[in-house]
């Protein structure tokens, strides 16, 4: 049993000082080949592993970055976090998963980890109302698709353009009564721009604006119930622009319940276009976000903040319409 071998033990066995052992461990300073070999040998004999925490205490860094998102159990967030993890890993950082759910307490807990210096940085994209601590200047935080405070840079996509593309497609399809689902988020989310685009186009085309608030962090059946209400309130609806793909799926489900056939008498278009959704539901026409690129940009920005460099405050990436058969 190799209980707790420390650098001291290695040094003793090699017949050198702790400092020297540390130097060969870190390839620092001038060492004679003889000592290097001796120390390496001792490390091997003792099966030595440096204690990461001790090192971190000295360096005051953990190489850990927290990812705070509503949930990982969703194609969009799963792909985004997977991409973030990979980018971070390549930069030597590990990702701590923080699923905030509908629980701003949990989000605060993860924020504390940063404040307690257990985390070197944070990438946030949760849906909770913003938390005061974010306003502390100069914390290494980057946000994705969420306005947190003017201290926190935001990576987002061109949501307005996405909303415009989606709505225009439905208009081009000849839809007369077009509804939109979104979630209640005030202006904390750039996401709201999707709704603005929808509303603008409805106004320009003299159409009724029909917007339903579908809660994000609730069970699917509750969401479905809200969506059913669209069909009850507007039996003549023939186009729906959903704010995300899973809601688009629920629209399709509800449509079937109401005897509506998609795409024959109801066009549906979603938002996100994650790979897994494309795989499982290729029929869905949707607005696709450049998830990989978002992750790259966010990590790049975060690394700059951690390094104390200045970064842009906003970065907006393009979206594109991906054709399926539902619109």
Partner DNA sequence: CTGAAAGCGCTAACAA
Partner DNA sequence: TTGTTAGCGCTTTCAG
Cα distance between residue 166 and residue 270, in whole Å: 8
40 binds DNA (CB under 7 A): no
Which residues from 43-62 bind DNA, rule CB under 7 A? 50-51, 54-55, 57-60
- Name the residue among 101, 82, 103, 95 with its Cα closest to residue 122: 95
Judged by beta carbon distances under 5 to 8 A according to partner kind, the member of DNA, its own copies, none in contact with residue 86 is its own copies
CA distance to 1, 3, 55, per residue, from 13 (Å): 18, 16, 21
Q: Among 12, 25, 113, 234, which residue sits at the site for DNA (rule: CB under 7 A)? A: 25
Which 3-22 positions form the footprint of DNA (CB under 7 A)? 4, 6-8, 15-20, 22
Which residues touch 87 (CB under 8 Å, ≥6 apart)?
Answer: 295, 296, 298, 299
List the one residue from 207, 249, 305, 315 that touches its own copies (CB under 8 A).
249
Judged by CB under 7 A, the residue of 1, 2, 13, 31 near DNA is 31
DSSP code of residue 265: T
97 is an interface residue for its own copies by CB under 8 A = yes
Interface with its own copies includes 325 (CB under 8 A)? Answer: no
Q: Binding its own copies by CB under 8 A: which of 279, 307, 308, 310?
A: 279
Q: How far is the CB of 62 from DNA (least distance, A)?
A: 13
Q: How far is Cα of residue 325 from the mean position of the Cα atoms in its chain?
A: 28
272, 289 contact by CB (below 8 A) = yes
Choose, by CB under 8 A, the member of 29, 129, 235, 282 that binds its own copies. 282
Contact in structure between 317 and 162 (CB atoms under 8 Å): no
| Residue 132 touches its own copies, criterion: CB under 8 A | no
Element (H, E) at 56: helix 52-59
Least Å distance, CB 51 to its own copies, is: 6
Q: Which is nearer to its own copies, 86 or 260 (CB)?
A: 86
Binder to its own copies among 116, 236, 264, 309 (CB under 8 A)?
116
Query: What does the buried/exposed string (b/e) look like for 86-116 if buried means 16 or more CB atoms within 10 Å of the residue's CB?
Result: ebbeeeebebbebbbbeebebbbebbebbee
Site string for its own copies, 250-269 (x = CB under 8 A): x--x----------------
Cis peptide, bond prior to residue 140, ω within 30 of zero: no
SS3 288: strand
Q: Are 211 and 150 in contact (CB under 8 A)?
A: no
8 binds, among its own copies, DNA, none (CB under 5 to 8 A by kind): DNA
- Minimum separation from the CB atom of position 76 to its own copies (A): 10
Nearer to DNA among residue 25 and residue 131 (C-beta): 25
Kindly list the residues in this chain that would bind DNA in the complex (CB under 7 A): 4, 6-8, 15-20, 22-23, 25-26, 28-32, 34-35, 50-51, 54-55, 57-60
């Amino acid at each position: 049993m190799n209980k707790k071998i420390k650098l001291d033990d290695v040094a003793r066995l090699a017949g050198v000082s702790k400092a020297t052992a540390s130097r060969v461990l870190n390839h620092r300073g001038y060492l004679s080949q003889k000592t290097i070999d001796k120390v390496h040998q001792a490390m091997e004999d003792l099966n030595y592993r440096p204690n990461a925490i001790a090192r971190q205490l000295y360096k005051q860094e953990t190489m850990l970055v927290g990812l705070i998102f509503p949930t990982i159990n969703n194609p969009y967030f799963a792909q985004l976090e997977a991409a973030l993890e990979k980018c971070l890993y390549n930069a030597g950082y590990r990702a701590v998963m923080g699923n905030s759910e509908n629980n701003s307490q949990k989000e605060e807990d993860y924020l504390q980890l940063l404040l307690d210096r257990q985390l070197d940085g944070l990438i946030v994209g949760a849906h909770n109302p913003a938390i005061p601590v974010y306003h502390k200047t100069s914390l290494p935080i980057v946000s994705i698709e969420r306005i947190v405070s003017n201290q926190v840079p935001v990576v987002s996509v061109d949501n307005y353009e996405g909303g415009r593309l989606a709505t225009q497609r439905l208009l081009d399809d000849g839809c007369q009564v077009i509804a939109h689902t979104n979630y209640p988020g005030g202006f904390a989310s750039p996401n709201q721009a999707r709704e603005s685009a929808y509303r603008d186009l409805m106004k320009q085309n003299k159409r009724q604006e029909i917007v339903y608030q579908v809660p994000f962090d609730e069970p699917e059946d509750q969401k479905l119930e809200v969506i059913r209400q669209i069909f009850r309130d507007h039996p003549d609806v023939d186009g729906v622009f959903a704010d995300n793909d899973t809601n688009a799926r629920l629209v399709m489900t509800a449509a079937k319940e109401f005897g509506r056939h998609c795409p024959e008498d109801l066009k549906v278009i979603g938002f996100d276009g994650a790979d897994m959704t494309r795989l499982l539901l290729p029929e869905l026409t949707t607005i696709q976000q450049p998830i990989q690129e978002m992750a790259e940009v966010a990590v790049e920005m975060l690394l700059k903040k951690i390094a104390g460099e200045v970064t842009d405050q906003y970065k907006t990436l393009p979206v594109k319409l991906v054709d399926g058969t539902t619109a």
